[in-house]
Chains A and B, each alone.
Chain A
């Protein structure tokens, strides 16, 4: 099947998201839906991308022989990143669903940004420790 290959599947999902965004814009131009609805749906779409991608982070394993640090720590880091980003993505999505449209984008970013910063910080610290250990 064409979607069995991970790259093909990723490309198909990306195409689906682009087509959805274009379709939403087209619907707005034909005044089927309002600009606010388009903004909300696009936000939800982006939030789900974050959630779905982050959900799979702990499942992408590197062979034990290729891990240069403690495998238990590597696993803990992976799980932490996955959880934090899923929560951030969930916050981002919910902000676009529930918050007044005037503050939805700002609130969504405020909810997702700490998650991204936390993941970046932990990853950088891990890389720094690994360099120090060499």
Chain B
């Protein structure tokens, strides 16, 4: 359950879920919609896949992402959207930065 909250805590990830509501989308098309680097976007996708909120499926040379949210998870996302849920202020980029800081 905590992985779901973690996934929903980030606005970029919530927007990815919002976009996938319209139907399956390719990784490239999704990444193009955001002003972040491809590795950061991949990290966001990985968090969503780990939380079992989206599913990645290889279709030819592209990876297609599909929404995989239960009704309750969708309701949770609605709440997160409405009240700006921010359980962890971490994004993959900030997490990597703080990990690097810890190491040094």
Most buried by A among B57, B64, B67, B70: B70
In the bound complex, residues from chain A placing their C-beta under 8 Å from that of B68 are 58-59, 61
In the bound complex, residues from chain A placing their C-beta under 8 Å from that of B74 are 58, 79, 83
What is the total number of residues of chain B having a CB less than 8 Å from a CB of chain A? 17
- A69 vs B57: C-alpha distance when bound (angstroms): 17
Q: How far is the CB of A86 from chain B (nearest CB, A)?
A: 5
Identify which of residues 62-77 in chain A touch chain B, using a CB-to-CB cut-off of 8 Å: 63-65, 70-73, 75-76
Beyond A72-B24, A75-B24, is A61–B72 a contact (Cβ under 8 Å)? no
Identify which of residues 23-82 in chain B touch chain A, using a CB-to-CB cut-off of 8 Å: 23-24, 52, 55, 57, 59, 64, 66-72, 74
Q: How far is the CB of B8 from chain A (nearest CB, A)?
A: 16
Inter-chain contact B59/A64, CB cutoff 8 Å: yes
**Does A82 belong to the interface (CB within 8 Å)?**
yes
- A63 vs B55: C-alpha distance when bound (angstroms): 10
- A58 vs B67: C-alpha distance when bound (angstroms): 8
Given contacts A64-B57, A83-B74, 15 further A-B contacts (CB under 8 A): A54-B71, A58-B70, A58-B74, A59-B52, A59-B68, A61-B68, A64-B59, A64-B64, A71-B23, A72-B24, A73-B23, A76-B23, A79-B21, A79-B67, A82-B70
| Interfacial residues, chain B to chain A (CB-CB below 8 A) | 21-24, 52, 55, 57, 59, 64, 66-72, 74
